[in-house]
């Protein structure tokens, strides 16, 4: 059994171990794989492990030996599922490994925006506090999250965790969700998208990227949003029209934007959000705590082992 890991570095930059996979077959480990290298590295593999390396219809047709693709992520849009199914290739993902870490990151962004922790810490390293005539100084207003309305778009595992944390902090929670209102926690009020935009002080995006949700946040929806709203995106970059968000930050329609994802990663240097005021961007690291990566590694190993045993798990193309 030949197992090829095509983009090993993000999951394991050196602090985890691939040894359990070595016991399951011949293992080829590639820190990164360019599109031009994918065929050569995958052509002899029975199982490939991928995160961002794409497998489209044309490529899958050239890989007759391939029997299983294990995606080291919850999302699996890097694989053409219809083509994989046609060629009897099992595709597995890693559900729910990063829920706590991503929810934590949502509030890391939100708390930094609301309290300016990083700005004050940087100022104090430059001597700002030591030169203050008073015991404290206020250069940027901070806000209290208790009592604010948090609108959540999508109540899957992560959205539900964000709702729970927001409730614990005293926030009012409203949500756009396909779930029945009777199935929601008592502190979550189901609403429509327009109402959510109009009422929310903070909106956090947790929906999948589909043709219907691409550029869900755009000039029209931003114009309908509450003035001075804070927007958080830790889901998928293309959920937002980045130029529209940058324009809303410049105009003040948005008070701030916190994101861990962009439409292109790494972004181009001229991405308008990188220079927009009150845009706080982290480099797609919400999923990458040590604990989350340990869980992801174990799920990946278990997926490979289950497939080899003839009982595949976490299959997304049944």
**250: annotated active-site residue:** no
Helix (H, G, I), strand (E, B), or coil: what is residue 241?
coil
Q: How many whole angstroms separate alpha carbon 205 and alpha carbon 82?
A: 28
In angstroms, the first-to-last Cα distance of the chain is 22
Q: For residue 80, give the DSSP letter.
A: -
> What string of DSSP letters covers 201-224?
SEEEE-PPP-TTTTT-BSHHHHHH
CA angle, 48 then 17 then 13, to 5°? 80
Q: How many CB atoms lie within 10 A of CB 120?
A: 17
**9: annotated active-site residue:** no
Residue whose C-alpha is closest to residue 200's, from 153, 161, 234 = 153
| Active-site pick, 61, 82, 265, 291 | 265
| Active-site pick, 2, 41, 87, 284 | 284
| Active-site pick, 236, 242, 293, 295 | 236
Cα atoms found within 13 Å of the Cα of residue 99, Cβ hemisphere only: 15
**236: annotated active-site residue:** yes
| Catalytic machinery residues | 236, 265, 284
């Amino acid at each position: 059994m030949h197992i090829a890991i095509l983009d090993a570095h993000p999951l394991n930059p050196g602090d985890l171990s691939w040894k359990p996979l070595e016991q399951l077959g011949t293992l080829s480990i590639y820190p990164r794989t360019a599109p031009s290298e994918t065929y050569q590295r995958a052509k002899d593999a029975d199982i490939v492990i991928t995160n961002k390396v794409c497998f489209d219809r044309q490529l899958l047709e050239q890989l007759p030996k391939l029997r299983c693709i294990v995606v080291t992520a919850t999302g699996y849009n890097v694989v053409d599922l219809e083509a994989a199914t046609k060629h009897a290739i099992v595709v597995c993902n890693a559900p729910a490994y990063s829920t706590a870490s991503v929810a934590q990151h949502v509030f890391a962004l939100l708390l930094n925006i609301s309290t300016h922790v990083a700005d004050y810490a940087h100022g104090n390293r430059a001597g700002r506090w030591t030169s203050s005539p008073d015991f404290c100084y206020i250069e940027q207003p901070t806000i209290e999250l208790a009592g604010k309305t948090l609108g959540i778009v999508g109540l899957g595992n992560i959205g539900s965790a964000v709702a729970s944390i927001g409730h614990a902090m005293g926030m009012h929670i409203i949500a756009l969700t396909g779930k029945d209102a009777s199935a929601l926690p008592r502190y979550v009020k189901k609403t429509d998208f327009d109402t959510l935009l109009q009422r929310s002080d903070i909106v956090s995006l947790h929906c999948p990227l589909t043709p219907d949700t691409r550029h869900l946040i755009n000039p029209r929806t931003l114009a309908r949003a509450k003035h001075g709203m804070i927007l958080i995106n830790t889901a998928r970059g293309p959920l937002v029209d980045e130029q529209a968000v940058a324009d809303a930050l410049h105009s003040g329609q948005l008070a701030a934007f916190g994101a861990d994802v962009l439409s292109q990663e790494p972004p181009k240097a001229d991405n308008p959000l990188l220079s927009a005021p009150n845009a706080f961007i982290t480099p797609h690291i919400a999923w990458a705590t040590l604990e989350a990566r340990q869980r992801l590694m174990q799920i990946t190993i278990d997926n490979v082992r289950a497939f080899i045993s003839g009982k595949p798990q976490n299959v997304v193309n049944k």
